[in-house]
Structures are given as structure tokens and as C-alpha cells.
Amino acid sequence: MAFYYQAQADSADRLCDHAGCDGEGLYRAPKSRGNLRDYHWFCLDHVRSYNRSWNYCEGMSENEIEHEIRSSTTWERPTWKPSGPAGYEERIRQTIHDSAGFYGFGAGEFTTRARKVTPESRALETLGLEDGVTFADIKAKYRSLVKQHHPDINRGNAEAEERLKTINHAFNTLKRAHKADKVA
């Protein structure tokens, strides 16, 4: 493995570190694998010779070489295993309000398949129900919400009245869908 050498403009007074050479030491080369910032200074001919014989991995086992490659890939910084799908799902649940059901969370798995948003699914969401409920459950929830948001109970509160209109619309949507399912 050849090592990159570099000429230094400020090293004009430095002599080549090769024994018996009086040339200028313009090019640096590391002294050892353990200390890559400590350099020999060579002339061009001797740095080329040094680089041809330089073997960074000399004396290392295959496992040590593999470890060196892996740690160099991340610039010798530590890495951690990802928290896994369950941890990812929990972080997503904490950061995304999935009112339309696009992310399809369920049974411990995270999927990005988009569910088709229908008037019925919106109506179920308005009533605070999930898919698969019976019409009896829908009626019970509707009655509970009407009692809670009725204008007579809320003394003419405009927000309660608007909420009741939304609840009535959702219930009528689900009632129509239930009748259509009975006919089909």
C-alpha cells in the first residue's frame, strides 16, 4: 500500500533522512503505522523508494485488517446498532399524529402502505371508533356523543353545536353505508 507523499514549501533547509543522501528533504512519509503524524523527510527519489516498500498492514492479522477497514469507514468514531423496528415505530408514533391512518401502524410493525381514506373511515374517526365495529357499537357511541355535545346541555355553546353537526353527519354516513351493506 503506497502512502501519499507531499512536498512542503517550508522544508527547503531540511536534508533527506535517507542515510548518505545530501538531497533536500521536501517530501514527508510516516515513520510508523502507530504514529502517522511523525514523518521522515526524503528527497523525491527516496520517498518513492520508501513508498514502494511501505506496507501499512504489515504484521496485522486478517481480523485486525478488517477492523482497521471498518473503523476507517466511520473515521474512527464509534457507531451504535439501530434501535430496531419497534424503537423506530415508537419514535414515529411520538412525532407523527396519524389521524388519516396513512402509516398503518399495527401489531408491532411499521409499514408505509397508505390506507384508502373513505367517507366511512373519516366518519369512524370522527366518532372515535376503529374499523370492524358493529352498527350497534356505532349507535351506542353516537348516543353517548349526542348526550355530551347537545346544545341544551352545553347552554347554547356554538362549538358544541358545530361538533354535534359533525357527529350527526358522521353517523348518517355510517348509517347509509350500513344499509348499503345490507342490500348488497
User: Which three cell numbers mark 28?
Assistant: 514527508
Domain containing residue 136: CATH number: 1.10.287.110
Residues 182, 164: one domain?
yes
Contacts of 84 (CB under 8 A, 6+ apart): none
pLDDT at 111: 46
Q: Considering the domain boundaries, does residue 156 fall inside one?
A: yes
Residues 67, 97: one domain?
no
Residues 127, 99: one domain?
no
Beta bridge partners of 106: 109
Contact 30, 36 (CB under 8 A): yes
- Report the SS3 class of residue 173: helix
Residues 99, 129: one domain?
no
Give burial (CB, 10 Å; 0-12/13-18/19+) of 169: middle
- The number of folded domains in the chain is 3
Return the amino acid letter for 12.
Answer: A
Sheet arrangement for strand 39-42 = 6-7, 27-30, 39-42
Q: Considering the domain boundaries, does residue 166 fall inside one?
A: yes
Residues 11, 68: one domain?
yes
**pLDDT of 10 strictly over 70:** no
Residues 111, 123: one domain?
no
Residues 68, 37: one domain?
yes
Residues 75-94 pLDDT 10s: 777 766 665 555 666 665 55
Q: Considering the domain boundaries, does residue 106 fall inside one?
A: yes
Return the amino acid letter for 161.
Answer: E
On whether the pTM is more than 0.85, the answer is no
pLDDT at 112: 46
Domain boundaries, position 48 = 6-73
Domain stop point among 73, 103, 132: 73
Residues 123, 174: one domain?
yes
Q: Considering the domain boundaries, does residue 1 fall inside one?
A: no
CA distances from 156 to 1, 139, 164 (A): 84, 24, 12
Residues 53, 99: one domain?
no
Contact 44, 36 (CB under 8 A): no
Residues 164, 150: one domain?
yes
Residues 92, 54: one domain?
no
DSSP code of residue 11: G
Residues 151-180 pLDDT 10s: 888 887 888 888 999 999 999 999 888 876
Residues 18-52 pLDDT 10s: 889 988 999 988 888 878 888 889 999 999 998 88
- Report the SS3 class of residue 39: strand
Q: Considering the domain boundaries, does residue 35 fall inside one?
A: yes
Q: Considering the domain boundaries, does residue 63 fall inside one?
A: yes
User: Which three cell numbers mark 64?
Assistant: 485486525
DSSP code of residue 82: -
Residues 141, 177: one domain?
yes
